[in-house]
Amino acid sequence: MASILDIVQIASILFSIVFLLATFIKARKKAGNRLPYPPGPKGLPLLGNLFDFPTSNPWEAYCDWGKIYNSDILYGSALGNQVLILNNRDDADELLEKRSQWYSGRPHIPIVELMGWNFNVGLMDYGENWRYHRKICHQTFHQDAAKFYHPIQTRKVHQMLGELLLAPDEFEGHGKMLSIGILMATMYGYDVKSLDDPFIEVAERGQRLGNGLLVPGATLLNVIPILCRIPPLASTQKLAAQVRELTEAMQKLPMDFARRAVRAGTANTSLVASFLEKQESGPAAEREERALEMIAATVYSGKRGVTIAATKTFFYAMTIDPEIQRKAQAEIDSVVGSDRLPEYNDRHSLPVTEAIYREILRWRPPGPLGVPHLTTQDDVYKGYFIPKGTAVFTNIWAMTRDEMKYPDGSKFRPERFLREDGRLNDDDRVLAYGFGRRVCVGKHVASATLWLLIASVLATFDITQAKDESGKEVEIESGYTDGMISQKKPFKCSITPRSTKARQLAEELRISQ
């Protein structure tokens, strides 16, 4: 006699076959009298390009596709899911900026809902609810409003300098602590003391488990949504339920902390505390509070990985390019001096430091493919048909390696952002922050954090290659991790105070924390 599990598995297969046949028939009917899709690999019946889509370093693979099919616009499909890849910035601007009303959706990913990640504003589909949250985000994080967080960012960066002096070999951990610490402080007024903090452990565990379910091929639930309606596909749904529990705790614990602090009159300056202190009663206020809770959790869960990745790239880049490091340090010395650390008001007077910031996010964008957009209606572009419901990926990796705009794009060269007279050129758009109506609303806060980190570390420390016991320089592998967020793989470098005065500054900061 067949077990319940056997029956469920058989039912899953039957449902899958029916779903695929229905999708295939629908696609064939629709293909009647239309323009061609953009170029791409020829797919198989029913399965489409299921076995063509790359599962590792896809941004590089799509660059290769562009050469093979002689096109910057690429198309593929798998099990009825349609995908458009844009390798060129002009195409991305035309579709995602100029036609943003049709290209601002988000693909529905079934596992996201099962894990409770639909709180994430960045993953919300385009519509009234998203616009409501987006309006609050804009009011909270626009360029002038971002200055509200400068004191917190400054304090946390200075704290990191003290930690680098004490334990320079642990620079990766210090960078992670900086990213998490700033976000928890700015959103909730919570001062993280260590990465072992219970608040952090809950969030990190949920993110780690959840990200595993978003990896291509991790679960059929992402490509065959009907399977979500079948009684427990044991392992996947059990894991998703575990992630949901952790996600709910990640949102609840810091919010409860902020509420208690406001009631007790001990709240530190933060987004949530600022709202709660002036909150009024009524349905509108309740809706806004829930929106703030979701926005704060989105910022914490979605942005820390980006800052961590960019911080690792900064240390790596300075290690392999000592010349540009020396130029930036000389600039900082001439503008700031040695008696204080760089401040935000110095930013416009430090073009070399600014060029390093821009080049870090160009050379190694933390999210090489960005977050996919979704078309909300059929469209035609350059003679190609782009159907409604197509996931659109911006290959930022390819765009930032366009040889016409960035010669030797695979090399770290901050001077590409400088004119011959040493001033910055007008290439100030950071593609890593996204496109159109889905551009990162927190980009001004993120930019301020990364810039101050770069300027402060360069003012205080020399970053060089580590040496082994015999005094020989340790070679650094150039590898980066795969996934939605790409980070530099672990490496060693030497971080030492630039001078006695720099050591004193860092020591004073460490003691004062």
Binding site as annotated, residues for heme:
440
Helix locations, 142-188, DSSP H: 150-166, 171-188
**Would you say 47 and 382 are in contact if contact means Cβ atoms under 8 Å apart?**
no
Q: How far apart are the first and last CA of the chain?
A: 68
Which uninterrupted H or E stretch holds 497? strand 493-497
**Would you say 270 and 254 are in contact if contact means Cβ atoms under 8 Å apart?**
no
**How far is Cα 102 from Cα 376, in angstroms, rounded to an integer?**
5
| Dihedral of alpha carbons 21, 24, 27, 33, sign | negative
Bin 294: left if φ > 0, else alpha if -120 < ψ < 50, else beta: alpha
The CB-side HSE value for 361 (13 A sphere, CA atoms) comes to: 23
All residues at 6 or more sequence positions from 306 whose CB lies less than 8 Å from its CB, including other chains: 366, 367, 432, 446, 485
Tokens of residue 269, six digits: 């300056």
Q: Which residues are annotated as a binding site?
A: 440
**How far is Cα 443 from Cα 361, in angstroms, rounded to an integer?**
12
Tokens of residue 490, six digits: 């672990």
What is residue 394's three-state secondary structure? strand
Count Cβ atoms below 10 Å from residue 280 Cβ, excluding itself: 7
Q: Length of the chain in residues, anyone?
A: 513
**How far is Cα 322 from Cα 327, in angstroms, rounded to an integer?**
9
Integer angstrom CA distances of residue 133 from 143, 307, 441, 463: 18, 23, 11, 41
The CB-side HSE value for 416 (13 A sphere, CA atoms) comes to: 22
What is residue 48's three-state secondary structure? strand
The angle that helices 198-214 and 234-264 make with each other, rounded to 10 degrees, is 150
